[in-house]
């Protein structure tokens, strides 16, 4: 098998199965199958677990680029779209559980929550921002958008910050877990910042060498 076949027939199906595993576990818990249980408040458990799973996939998506660079595995990029779509999927389930099972379809409360409660406002914003990314995740859209696709998908940095912030703000008092998420996100973003700086200075050096000696240095 060549690399393409290995990804198509082995790695991608494995990632797909792993992506569905949290959902399968939650469904088992909801129905009491296989000894799984969601505890005394299944609605909150579903809501929180879907939210955290979405954040996990978001961070995994952001971890693809550093991992492929650091381990020298450029093929890893082939898994990124699926990870990102799983993040979107769990965000949608998270929101659906909140709207249907928690608020019991009370749209007045939904409106009040989004308008009045900052942690819900930013969570909802993150959900809205994810929609164009999911919609433009196909090969066709990538081709059609060209360079603009990359600019658009930089939104994921904003979304990840909003998502972790949303988690941090809804916790009552014990912020240890959201702080771990914030730490991992900070590392992933810092990596990009450092890389961008390094790339910019390399470009500047190349420009000054190949171009005129008076070319302005880029920072």
Partner 1 sequence: MPTRVPRIAPSEITPPEVYFSRRALLAGALASGVSALAHASRVPAPGEPLNYTRNEKLSVSEAPNKYEEITTYNNFYEFGTDKEDPSENARSLHTSPWSVSVDGEAEVRGTFTLEDILKGQSLEERIYRFRCVEAWSLVVPWVGFPLSSLVTRFKPTSRAKYVEFTTLYDLHQMPGERVPVLNWPYVEGLRMDEAMHPLTLMVVGLYGRVLPNQDGAPLRLIVPWKYGFKSIKSIVKIRFTDTQPRTAWNVATPHEYGFYANVNPQVDHPRWSQASERRIGAPFLAARRPTLPFNGYAAEVASLYQGMDLRRYF
Binding footprint of partner 1 on the chain (CB under 8 A) = 30-32, 37-44, 100-106, 109, 112-113, 116-119, 169-170, 172-174, 176
Tell me the closest approach of the beta carbon of residue 145 to partner 1, in angstroms: 38
Give the residue with the Cβ less far from partner 1, 30 or 152: 30
Tell which residue, 61, 122, 115, has the closest CA to residue 89. Answer: 61
Q: How far is the CB of 150 from partner 1 (least distance, A)?
A: 36
DSSP state of 100: I
Which phi and psi angles does 175 have, rounded to 5°? -95, 15
Q: How far is the CB of 182 from partner 1 (least distance, A)?
A: 17
Tokens of 65: 């680029």
Q: In this complex, which beta carbon is closest to partner 1, that of residue 22 or of residue 84?
A: 22
Tokens encoding 195: 């890389």
Kindly state the DSSP code that residue 103 receives in the 8-state scheme: S
Q: In whole angstroms, how close is the CB of 175 to partner 1 at the nearest point?
A: 9
Helix (H) / strand (E) containing 189: helix 176-210
Q: Name the minimum Å distance from CB 76 to partner 1.
A: 34
Q: Which is nearer to partner 1, 42 or 66 (CB)?
A: 42
* Six-digit token string for 191: 């990596």
* Count of C-beta atoms within a 10 Å radius of residue 213: 6
Residues 6+ away with beta carbon under 8 Å from 77? 64, 65, 68
Q: Considering beta carbons, is residue 88 or 165 the nearer one to partner 1? A: 165
Nearer to partner 1, 1 or 108 (CB): 108
């Amino acid at each position: 098998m060549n690399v393409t076949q290995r990804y198509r027939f082995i790695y991608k199906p494995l990632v797909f199965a792993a992506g569905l595993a949290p959902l399968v576990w939650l469904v088992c818990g909801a129905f009491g199958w296989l000894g799984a249980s969601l505890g005394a408040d299944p609605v909150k458990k579903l809501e929180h677990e879907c939210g955290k799973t979405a954040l996990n996939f978001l961070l995994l998506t952001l971890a693809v680029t550093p991992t492929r660079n650091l381990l020298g595995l450029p093929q890893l990029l082939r898994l990124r779209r699926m990870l990102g779509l799983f993040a979107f999927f769990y965000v949608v389930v998270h929101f659906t559980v909140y709207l249907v099972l928690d608020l019991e379809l009370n749209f007045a409360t939904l409106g009040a929550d989004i308008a009045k409660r900052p942690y819900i406002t930013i969570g909802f914003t993150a959900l809205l921002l994810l929609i164009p990314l999911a919609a433009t995740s196909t090969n066709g859209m990538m081709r059609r958008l060209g360079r603009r696709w990359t600019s658009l998908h930089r939104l994921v940095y904003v979304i990840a910050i909003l998502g972790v912030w949303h988690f941090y703000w809804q916790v009552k008092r014990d912020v240890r877990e959201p702080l771990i998420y914030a730490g991992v996100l900070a590392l992933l973003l810092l990596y990009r910042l450092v890389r961008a700086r390094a790339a910019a200075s390399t470009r500047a050096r190349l420009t000054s060498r190949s171009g005129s000696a008076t070319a302005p240095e880029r920072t």
